[in-house]
């Protein structure tokens, strides 16, 4: 999970494969753990997997790191206006 949070490409690809596998399994089996076979639940799980897969794919393709808001201002070394 740390690799995904750090936006490291190889971890994003691995997580994308894991999410895709789970989504495909739900579609093929028509059920989720515990035997939930209600089509609304299956559709919700598959939709979540697809949205997650798209987000992970975009993050891997763009290769941008998530900004860490406020870190610079909290730990900034005193500048010309700060003594």
**23-75 tens-digit pLDDT:** 888 888 887 777 778 888 888 888 888 888 888 888 888 875 555 555 454 44
d(C-alpha 81, C-alpha 78), whole Å: 8
Number of domains into which the chain is organized: 1
> Do 57 and 67 contact (CB within 8 A), yes or no?
no
Pick from 49, 54, 30, 52: nearest CA to 40: 30
Give the pLDDT of residue 67. Answer: 56
Question: Residue 65 has what pLDDT?
Answer: 57
User: Is 34 part of any domain?
Assistant: yes
What pTM value is reported for the model? 0.58
Q: Which domain holds residue 64?
A: 2-75
Give a yes or no: residue 49 inside a domain. Answer: yes
Q: Which pLDDT belongs to residue 64?
A: 59
Report pLDDT for 81: 57
81 inside domain: no
Under 8 Å between Cβ of 30 and 42: yes
Does position 20 have pLDDT exceeding 60, yes or no? yes
Is residue 83 one of the residues assigned to a domain? no
Would 82 be classed as within a structural domain? no
């Amino acid at each position: 999970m740390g690799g995904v949070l750090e936006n490291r490409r190889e971890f994003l690809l691995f997580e994308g494969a894991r999410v895709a596998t789970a989504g495909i399994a739900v579609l093929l089996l028509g059920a989720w753990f515990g035997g939930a076979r209600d089509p609304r639940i299956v559709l919700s799980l598959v939709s979540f997997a697809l949205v997650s897969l798209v987000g992970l794919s975009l993050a891997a393709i763009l290769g941008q790191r998530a900004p860490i808001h406020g870190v610079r201002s909290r730990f900034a070394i005193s500048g010309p206006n700060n003594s």
